[in-house]
């Protein structure tokens, strides 16, 4: 089991290394975007492609847990993040989803997210769907520690972000959404756990309509919630 976790950490680190060398987006500091991804690379690579490769490689090159059964959990959490660039958008979220334990050190799932973007220029809500993967360096009877990353799509009632006095670009209603972070689950009993995490969130359309229509949003925050193992 230790070997499986060790190989997973090495594999994921190798997959990330090339992207980690990317420059920060203009105005970013290391604590704004801890992994240092450019917005487009954050969306396309960190958000979905790299976790998918890591999960696929993990399934191919590591053995299934002996004597164990695959476990599925459903969860709900409340998240809050604050944009670190003008206009410093506040973005509360309600997240609901399921998580399927593929290995003791790795799981995958799908999340439905309701979010609300509010600042001096934006006042809109949206719904997102986001596949994700989690990797567990700690997973025992008392608690779990995991790294999570996932990317999907978000549709907002209004175009987002709206133009401001510092950026006259207008965003779009349909965008990509990426989130990565570190979380923990503390087991109340065999089925119920309380959860907490810190996260980085990115919303943009990946320049699909050109850079002049992609002002993007980046924020950091946290979430608390609960999960139930079926």
Q: Could you give the number of structural domains in the chain? A: 1
Q: Write the CA distances from 38 to 8, 11, 103, integer angstroms.
A: 24, 21, 31
Percent of the chain whose pLDDT exceeds 90: 59
- Tell me what the pLDDT averaged over the chain comes to: 84
Q: Say which residue, 81 or 2, is predicted with more confidence.
A: 81
The CA distance from 214 to 188, in Å, is 44
| Residue 220 domain boundaries | 2-229
Indicate the range of 20-29, 136-145, 199-208 predicted with least confidence.
20-29
The CA distance from 131 to 51, in Å, is 10
217-229 vs 72-83, strand pairing mode? antiparallel
User: Two tokens at 161?
Assistant: 């972000």
User: Two tokens at 61?
Assistant: 């090159």
The CA distance from 143 to 64, in Å, is 21
CATH number at residue 72: 2.40.160.20
Residue with tokens 């609300």: 116
SS3 state of residue 55: helix
Output the pLDDT for position 10: 47
Mean pLDDT of 87-94: 97
């Amino acid at each position: 089991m230790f070997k499986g976790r060790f190989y997973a950490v090495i594999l994921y680190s190798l997959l990330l290394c090339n992207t980690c060398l990317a420059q920060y987006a203009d105005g970013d500091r290391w604590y704004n975007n801890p992994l240092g991804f450019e917005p487009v690379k954050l969306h396309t690579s960190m958000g979905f492609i790299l976790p998918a490769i890591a999960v696929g490689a993990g399934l191919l090159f590591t053995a299934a847990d002996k004597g164990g059964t695959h476990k599925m959990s459903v969860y709900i959490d409340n998240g809050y993040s604050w944009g670190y660039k003008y206009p410093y958008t506040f973005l509360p979220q309600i997240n609901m989803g399921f998580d399927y334990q593929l290995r003791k050190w790795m799981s995958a799932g799908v999340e439905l997210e309701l979010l609300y973007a509010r600042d001096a220029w934006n006042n809109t809500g949206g719904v997102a769907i986001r596949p994700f993967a989690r990797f567990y360096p700690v997973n025992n009877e008392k608690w779990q520690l995991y790294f999570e990353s996932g990317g999907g799509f978000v549709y907002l009632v209004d175009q987002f972000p709206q133009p401001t006095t510092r950026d006259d670009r207008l965003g779009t209603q349909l965008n990509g959404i990426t989130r990565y972070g570190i979380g923990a689950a503390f087991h109340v009993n065999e089925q119920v756990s309380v959860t907490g995490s810190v996260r980085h969130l990115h919303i943009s359309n990946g320049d699909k309509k050109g850079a002049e229509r992609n002002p993007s949003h980046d924020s950091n925050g946290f979430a608390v919630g609960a999960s139930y193992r079926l």
